[in-house]
Chain A
Amino acid sequence: MVGTRTARDLGDKTHEPTGGQTVGPFFAFGLDYPKKHEVVFPHSPGAIILGGTVFDGAGAPIPDAVVEIWSADENGEIPRAHGAFRRDDHSFTGFGRAATTDVGRYEFWTRNPGPLDGGAPFYSVVVFARGLPDKLVTRIYLPEHDDLLAADALLSSLDDDERATLIATRLPNGHLHHDIHLQGEKETVFLAF
C-alpha cells in the first residue's frame, strides 16, 4: 500500500545528470528476460493486450525499438511488488518491456489501470530505439473515463490531433491498440518534466 506523499522543495540541483545515449542496434541480448512483456499472465482474468506499431517519419515500422510501460493496477494502486524480472505469474508489478518485431510491433499483456488520485488513468511509457539518441517519454491514456480525460491537465493543453496521439483505441475484444510515431504528421506527443 502507498501512503500519502507530500511535496517539498529540495532546492537547487547539486549534481549534473548523466546524458542519455542510443540503445543501439544490439540491445536484444542485453535487455531481454523471460516474460518481459507479460505484466500479467496471458488470458488471466482482466488481462488485456496493449499493442501497436512504432513508426518512423517516413511511415515505416521501426524493427529495433524498445517500449516500456509502467502503470497503476486496476484499483489505481501503485504496484510495490517485486518480481518484474522474475515473473511469478500472479504478482502485479506494473512494469513491462517489449522489443519491437521485424514489422515494428510491440505488445504487452497487462490490465487496465484504474484512476489514480482521481486522475485519468494512463500507462507511463518510455521508448528507446536505434537511431534515437535519448529516450522519449510519453503516456497512453485509456479511451474511457470521458470526464477524467476532459479534466486532464496535459490533454487539455493539446489540440485534437495531438490528443489523439496519446489516447488508445479500445478494440471490440477489449484489447487496446496504440501506435507510436517518432516523427511525421501523426507524431506522438512526447513529454519533458
Chain B
Amino acid sequence: MTATQPDPRGEEAFSSSVVLEQNAAAPESLLASPDQLTQNEITQEIVDYHAAAARREAAGERLNRSLHDFPPYRSSLLRHPTKNPKLVDPETIELWSPAFGQRDVAAIESDLTLQHIGEPQGERMTVQGRVLDSWGRPVANQLVEIWQANAAGRYIHQRDQHPAPLDPNFTGAGRTVTDDDGFYKFTTIKPGAYPWKNHVNAWRPAHIHFSIFGSGFTQRLVTQMYFPGDPLFPLDPIYNTIWRQQDRDRLIGLYDHDLSVPEFSMGYRFDIVVDGPDATWFEPEEGEH
C-alpha cells in the first residue's frame, strides 16, 4: 500500500520519493466540484457562513475554530461529521506523544533548497518560530513537517497537473525537530499561488503546509501558513474554514526584517500554539521525560 515506488514520470523523475499507487486510476475526477459557481457566489457564501457561525456562537453553541461543515469548501460536503464530537477526558496514552529525537530527522532535511544538485528557482526565504502549548510552554523535541508548492505554484504530485513548470531542483518537503525551547527553522522558497477546481477561477493563496506534534497526541495539528497581505484571503474557502478573523490572522507568517539575511533570504516568523485539553493537564514528575 505505501511501499516506495520509482517515480513513473520518466523525465520528470526526481530523486525524492513520491509515493503513490501508480497502477490504479488516480481520482482526479474527485477534485472538481460539480456545480462550479462563480467566485462572487463563493465569496458571498463565505460571508454568509461566517455570519451564521457568529450567530450560533452568540446563541451559546461551542464551535470549533475550523468549521468542519463549511459548504463553500465543496470537498467538505460529504466529509464532515454531522454529530457533535464527544467531550471526553483524555486517557493516559492521549496525554503523551510519540518520542521523536534527532535520530529521526537529519539536519539537512530542514533546508528545502539543498535537496538537489542545483538551486531552486524563486525567492529564498526562511521561516522560523516556536511551538508552544496553550500555557505558553515550549513543545520541545517534537516533529515539525512542512510541504508546499514551488515558486510557480506547482506541487510535485501526480494529481497536480496544472500547466505551471516543475522545478527539477525543488521537491518542497522538509522536516525538523524542535529544540529544547520549542524553536524550529526551515530554509525554503516562497511558494506561488495555485489554481484548483472548487469553483470557476479558484486560486489558493500562497501557503506552506505545517504538520505539528504537541506534547500530547490530542494536540496533533495540521495547518497552513500564509503570507502577509495576500489579496486572495477573502476569496479562499479553505483559509476561511476558520471563521473568526482573529483566528485566521494567526495563520499568517509575519515578515520580520531582522530575520532576513543580507543578499540571501527573506525572513518570516510563524509561532504555533497547540491546543491542550481544557481542564486539567498532566505533568511528568521532576526529572522525568
A139 to B85, CA, bound (A): 12
Asked if residues A131 and B134 are in contact (CB atoms below 8 Å), the reply is no
What's the nearest-Cβ distance from chain A to residue B75, in Å? 3
B79-116 interface bits toward A, Cβ cutoff 8 Å, 1 = contact, 0 = none: 11111111111111111111111011100000000000
Asked if residues B285 and A6 are in contact (CB atoms below 8 Å), the reply is yes
A58 to B85, CA, bound (A): 20
A84 to B96, CA, bound (A): 14
Question: Which listed residue, A19, A132, A191, A193, touches B251 by the CB 8 Å rule?
Answer: A19
A141 to B207, CA, bound (A): 37
Q: Known contacts being A20-B65, A190-B81, A193-B87, is A29 close to B274, with CB within 8 Å? A: no
Asked if residues B103 and A30 are in contact (CB atoms below 8 Å), the reply is no
What's the nearest-Cβ distance from chain A to residue B249, in Å? 10
Question: Which listed residue, B66, B83, B85, B89, touches A21 by the CB 8 Å rule?
Answer: B66
Question: Which listed residue, A134, A189, A193, touches B277 by the CB 8 Å rule?
Answer: A193
Asked if residues B68 and A85 are in contact (CB atoms below 8 Å), the reply is no
**Which residues from chain B contact A106 at a C-beta distance below 8 Å?**
1
Asked if residues B27 and A10 are in contact (CB atoms below 8 Å), the reply is no
Is B11 engaged at the interface, CB distance under 8 Å to the other chain? no
**Which residues from chain A contact B77 at a C-beta distance below 8 Å?**
57, 131
What's the nearest-Cβ distance from chain A to residue B197, in Å? 10
Asked if residues A29 and B18 are in contact (CB atoms below 8 Å), the reply is yes
Asked if residues A192 and B88 are in contact (CB atoms below 8 Å), the reply is yes
Asked if residues B238 and A31 are in contact (CB atoms below 8 Å), the reply is no
How many residues of B sit at the interface, in one of the four size bands?
35 or more
Asked if residues B92 and A153 are in contact (CB atoms below 8 Å), the reply is no
Q: Known contacts being A28-B19, A30-B146, A85-B143, is A132 close to B76, with CB within 8 Å? A: yes
Asked if residues B273 and A17 are in contact (CB atoms below 8 Å), the reply is yes
**Which residues from chain B contact A187 at a C-beta distance below 8 Å?**
81-83
A17 to B189, CA, bound (A): 26
Interface residues of B (CB under 8 A from A): 1-2, 4, 16-21, 24-27, 30-31, 64-68, 70, 73, 75-101, 103-105, 132-136, 143, 145-149, 155-157, 159-160, 171-173, 175, 209, 211, 217-218, 220-224, 238-239, 241-242, 246-248, 250-251, 272-285, 288
The 6 closest A-B pairs by CB, nearest first: A30-B147, A131-B75, A82-B101, A95-B98, A85-B104, A133-B241
Extra 19 A-B pairs, beta carbons < 8 Å, given A19-B248, A80-B99, A134-B66:
A5-B282, A15-B135, A17-B65, A20-B222, A25-B157, A29-B157, A30-B147, A31-B211, A32-B2, A78-B96, A79-B98, A79-B99, A83-B101, A84-B100, A85-B104, A102-B24, A105-B1, A106-B1, A154-B88
